Amino acid sequence: MSAEDEEGRSKRVGIRARMYVVFGLVALGFGMVLSSAWDVMVRDGEGWRELAERQRQRRLRIVPKRGTIYDRNGLALAVSVEVPSVSLDSYDLLRTVPAPQIPVVARDAANRIAAVLELDPADVERKILSKRRFSWLKRQISAEEAARLRELASRKVMGDRRVRGLVVEGEGRRYYPRRTVAGPLLGFVAPDGEGKDGIELSLDHDLKGHVEQLRGLRDRSGRLLFADGMHDDQALAGHDIHLTIDQGIQHTAERELANVATTFEAAGGSVIALDPNTGEILAMASWPGYNPNDYRSSEINERRDRGLSDLFEPGSTMKIFTIAAGLSGGAITPAQKLYCEKGFMPVDNVTIRDTHPSEWLSISQVLAFSSNICAAKIGLALGGNRLYDSLRRFGFGQTTGVPLPGEATGMLRPRSRPWVQVETAAASFGQGISVSNLQLALATAALANGGELMEPAIIKRVSSATGETLRTSVPKVRRRVVPKRVARAVVEMMIGVTEGEGTGVEAAINGYQVAGKTATAQKTDPKTGRYSLDKYIASFVGFVPARKPRVVISVMIDEPMLEHAGGAVAAPLFRRLAKKILEYQGLMPRSAKRADLAALARTADPAHAVYEAMRQAEGRRPAVQDTVSPAPVGAGRVRVPDLTGWPLREAVRRLSDLGLSAKIDGTGLLSLQTPAPGSVVTKGETLTLFFEPAT
Amino acid sequence: MKGVVSGLLKRRAELGPPDAVLVALAVGLLGFGIVIVYSASTIEGVGLKHPDPQFFLKRQTVYAVLALAVMAVASSFDYQKLRPLTYAILGVACAGLVAVLVVGVVAGGAKRWINLGPVNIQPSEVAKLALVLWLGHSLAKKGDLVKTFKLGMLPHLIMAGILIMLCMKQPDFGGAVVLALLTFILLFVAGARFELLVVTGVVASAVGLALVRSRDYRWERILAWLDMNEHRQDLAYQPFQSVMSFGSGNFGGVGLGDGYQVLYLPEAHTDFVSAIVGEELGFVGVLGLGLTYLVIVARGVRTALRAEDDYGAYVAFGISTLFGIQSLFNLAVAMALLPTKGLTLPFVSYGGSSLLASAAAMGVLLNISRSRFAVNNKRVDEGPAPEASATLVTEADFAPEGPDGGTR
């Protein structure tokens, strides 16, 4: 071994040692990386997993289409239509912009967006710089604005100057096709989709549907890749509401109310029409009203549903309930006569007066002449507590439970203590207490239907967007108020009001018996606390036909100026509206001659005769074979019936009854069938039916 | 040329088998790479102009087959025959690095690829191997002179410096760092004076830092990496998503092909493929991957220790270190332990250049790992003089054809 070898070996050893050192360092590096992997993946993995999960889930907020509000016959009163709204994904807008250029780009984009949408550029710029993924720019924009925005965002038109992150999407806007009809009843919907008044508010939850959060997967640029299925297949549309309101009656009521209110320069008024047998509200008119399509230009007192939320001292209409209470309480009998003190009766320190001073009056006459004194006597005979209880049983002083917002309770005992004698006397003829028009109508309905207080119904049916009925209103009796005989007796007395010398003759309708009661109540002057001399509330409540009532109508006119008697102001409105409703519902007047259906059935079709006559006059031979005596068909053969206009299911059913089969084309109602109707075919033959959707 | 081939064949019989563990690991990694690249690249493939979820899978498979061929060829002849080609290879690498600056394709803000029709080649991948071959040759030649600064260290530093500067020009900061580390490690192993290495290392680091700071985008990237949470939506998006991928994997992973992070992680199939391994195969997968590379380095170092001469030892060690550094840095970057550099994971990441360069390097390593007792005995018999003349002859024989042999 030479020294050189020795040196070489030590050199080798050095190299080997250093290789080990380097390998050790590399191994150490791997150790560090792997221990860090353990930390990230296992020890702290939970946080990262959650973050990743959140990142890839894109939540789609699907705002369902708001349900439609229909009247009882299926006429749409409130519908939702899609209107474009524009929102901004400012993160997307600035995504490709290098940091130093952000202020410039943001300002430029803000100016261009603001120019299109007529917004404040500074405001838009602030939204852009917020780097938020969602903010509304402008809701419910016009089609033109939407088109210009799309242009702004289009690469084709704008090239590199296009604005990213603009999202134009349809948003539901509420539209009331019948404009002012039932405006205060329906309410309106704010741009954020919240129902704000009336039905829109009280049934907001049903109408709105559930805002469904859809979970989807998104990629790097935020595009939705795929979404989970819907959890609730009814989520995409709110429920439809079918009201008990009849649009025709409502419209008439509103028109008549507006006529009266403007004629008498009234401050306001309300009309309620309801079915006494079911408690269904057919019309609820309030004046002044407003157009919910343009609710912004209306004032708050125009949006109030006065029949529901305005309280007033009812005055004489209350006497019918006092009498009913007296009769059922045994304080009076129907045949009794009362002494009416010739128009003046002092009770404690006040004097009660009558407008028609009388001596002895039957109970009927008390009502017909509207004697305050005798009503007070009945009330006093009954006693304050029993009168109060009776009126409570009629539903006064408590909410009716109608599912509408803003219902007023009314007040029987102003100071929450039993009445003193004067108060009992005053309450007997409707003073010192307050009621709402709806309470009055329902209490009257309780007399009309034989003594049962009904729960008012405004929602007839709630159905899902697919047409499935979810809830139906069933007539609900809240309680029996008076025995049937008492109710009948009071009805008979109320008929007297509209007959002869009664105060309500203006309400009488030819051919029908009308039961009702007028009221002319002085208003309390809020300044003096005394009854005002020139401010009145004229009202009339009644029903028709009296003995088998179809509709109760309660009219309240606030501060009519030219004339203030209930019989002159409110009763004619009752008459006109009731007449319309009777005609509308096809109820014949008593005197009307009914068509003899049997005779009509025997005669040949009159239209056919006219048609034939015209043809002959034109010198043409009859084109249509006489359908009265069709040629006999052979055995095993059938004549094809005319099925045009029938729905698919029915048409097929009828054909199969005849032993024919059908080939179906299209959907809807049958528009064409071959072979033609009337032709004779062999049983088992196949007909081709063409259907078209009903328009 | 005919002589070369016949020479290769003749020599072959005298060579022992290559390191079976290395072969197994390299081939295994290639296969694993195809699978994981497929999982990581489908989204990218669908997003192509002509959507094809299997686009990257097909290409990677072709590259893997080619890589196996390259590996086989590179391991089959006496690696001593590479030594005369050292400068030719280095020249080609340099030329490539210069060419890429001139005709390179810009992608991701850097000129790293030369477009050759159907394929893009990345010269910096070639440069790494070229530098290792040259350092092995040069350090073995210098012997004890390595200890001097002027003759031992300076030439290597200058040569490496040129390659590093060319890489930085692209810019390929990751490549530059790998080249620098390789140079320092091989100088250190060869016995360069430690204090000199420390001084030059400090100087080099200072220069590197200055270069980083001189380019705003690079500095911003570093700052973003330091405060990743703040920049997770912009500059640090990629490392943040990558760490999220690892974190999503937990212990056992979400299952091969079931990962979601491919939707968000850019370059999931190339530089950040390990993040997908992390998500889909979990910590177990990452541990397996890390240990595989460590074992490759270990077997490579073993090969270096057993090499018949200094040249073989240095080259084997350099190649092992190259794999070690490259995979270590790739994993560290994917876990955001280091700022983003643009380094591939050898044998696994998608990309022909990376795959073929790694395969060639592995081929040379396998070549060195072949036992050569028979050859050694012969050489001892023949003595040193014929060896030198043989080298000369070989050099004369091969020199004109150098460029041919050097290109791959």
3-state secondary structure A15-69: HHHHHHHHHHHHHHHHHHHHHHHHHHHHHCHHHHHHHHHHHHEEEEEECCECCCE
Query: Average of pLDDT values for A49-76?
Result: 81
Q: Has residue B391 got a pLDDT over 50?
A: no
Rounded CA separation B144/B191 (Å): 8
Using the predicted structure, report yes or no on whether residue B49 has a pLDDT greater than 80. no
Determine the residue among A21, A41, A55 to mutate to test chain B binding: the one whose Cβ has the most chain B Cβ atoms within 10 Å.
A41
- Per-residue pLDDT at B227: 82
A560 neighbors A518 (Cβ within 8 angstroms): no
Tens digits of per-residue pLDDT, B133-191?
Answer: 999 999 998 888 888 888 888 999 999 999 999 988 888 888 999 999 999 999 999 88
Q: How confident is the model at residue B214 (pLDDT cuts 50, 70, 90)?
A: confident
Q: Which residue has the higher pLDDT, A629 or A191?
A: A191
What pLDDT, on the 0 to 100 scale, is given for residue B4?
41
Q: What pLDDT score was predicted for residue A228? A: 54
Assign A602 a pLDDT band (cuts: 50, 70, 90). low
User: With 70 as the cut, is the pLDDT of residue A581 above it?
Assistant: yes
List the structure tokens of A467.
Answer: 């047409």
Cα–Cα nearest to A209, from A231, A191, A236, A230: A236
Residue A514's pLDDT is 92
pLDDT band at B389 (very low <50, low <70, confident <90, very high): very low
Mutation test of the interface with chain B: which of A13, A33, A92, choosing the one with the most B Cβ atoms within 10 A? A33
Complex ipTM value: 0.87
B380 pLDDT higher than 50: no
Q: Which positions ≥6 away from A294 have C-beta within 8 Å?
A: none
Assess A54–B contact: CB distance below 8 Å, yes or no.
Answer: no
For residue B189, list chain A residues with Cβ-Cβ distance below 8 A: 15, 18-19, 22
Contact B182, B322 (CB under 8 A): yes
Q: Is B46 on the interface with A (CB under 8 A)?
A: no
| Average pLDDT of the residues in A621-636 | 56
User: What per-residue confidence (pLDDT) applies to B386?
Assistant: 43
Residue A393's closest CA among A342, A331, A325?
A325
The residues, any chain, with a CB within 8 Å of residue A544's CB and separated by 6 or more, are: A509, A512, A513, A514, A515, A550, A551, A553, A578, A582
CA distance A204 to B75: 80
**Predicted pLDDT of residue A625:** 45
Does residue A289 register a pLDDT over 50?
Answer: yes
Q: What pLDDT shows up at residue B392?
A: 42
Tokens of A268: 């306001």
How long is chain B?
408
Torsion region of B35: left, alpha or beta (phi above 0 gives left; psi -120 to 50 gives alpha): alpha
Catalytic-residue membership of A298: no
Burial (0-12, 13-18, 19+ Cβ within 10 Å), A595: exposed
What pLDDT was estimated at residue B10? 46
Cβ–Cβ contact B250 with A under 8 A: yes
Q: Are A166 and A113 in contact (CB under 8 A)?
A: yes
Lowest mean pLDDT among A234-238, A371-375, B331-335, B358-362: A234-238
A134-177 pLDDT, tens digit per residue, is 788 888 888 888 888 888 887 777 777 788 888 877 777 888 99
Chain A 185-224, residues with CB within 8 Å of chain B CB atoms? 217-220
With 0-12 / 13-18 / 19 or more C-beta atoms within 10 angstroms meaning exposed / middle / buried, residue A129 is middle
Interface touch A225/B263, C-beta < 8 Å: yes
Q: What is the mean pLDDT of residues B300-324?
A: 92
The answer to whether residue A47 neighbours chain B at the CB level (below 8 Å) is yes
Q: How close A36 comes to chain B (CA, Å)? A: 8
pLDDT exceeds 70 at position A345: yes
pLDDT band per the 50, 70, 90 thresholds, residue A328: very high
| Side-by-side strand order, sheet with B119-121 | B104-107, B110-116, B119-121
Residue A357 CB: number of other CB atoms within 10 A? 14
Q: What is the pTM of this model?
A: 0.57
Is A15 an interface residue toward B (CB < 8 Å)? yes
**CB contacts, 8 Å: B191 with chain A:** 11, 14-15, 18
Q: Quick one: what percent of chain B has pLDDT higher than 90?
A: 45
* pLDDT of A629 strictly over 50: no
Tens-place pLDDT, residues A218-261: 666 666 665 555 555 555 678 899 999 999 999 999 999 999 99
Q: Scanning the structure block, which residue is given the tokens 């509103």?
A: A254
Q: Do A55 and B244 touch (CB under 8 A)?
A: yes
> With 60 as the cut, is the pLDDT of residue B346 above it?
yes
Catalytic one of A316, A390, A436, A554: A316
Q: Of A19, A37, A49, which has the smallest distance from its Cβ to B248's Cβ?
A: A49
The whole-angstrom separation of Cα B22 and Cα B363 is 10
User: Does residue A626 surpass a pLDDT of 60?
Assistant: no
- Nearest CB among B249, B310, B324 relative to A41 is that of B249
How far is the alpha carbon of A16 from chain B, nearest alpha carbon, in Å? 7
CB A442 within 8 A of CB A449: no
Query: Could you tell me if B36 and B253 are in contact, meaning their C-beta atoms sit under 8 angstroms apart?
Result: no
Report the percent of chain A where pLDDT is more than 90: 34
Residue B118: predicted pLDDT:
72
Give backbone dihedrals phi and psi of B172, rounded to 5 degrees, phi first. Answer: -130, 85
Which residue of B286, B310, B328 is in closest CB contact with A29?
A: B328
Checking if the pLDDT of A189 tops 60, the result is yes
pLDDT of the residue at A93: 81
Q: Across chain A, what does the average pLDDT equal?
A: 84
Q: B174 CA to chain A: closest CA distance, Å?
A: 17
Q: Tell whether the model's pLDDT for residue A477 goes beyond 90.
A: yes
In the structure, what pLDDT confidence band is assigned to residue B407 with cuts at 50, 70 and 90? very low
- Amino acid letter at B11? R
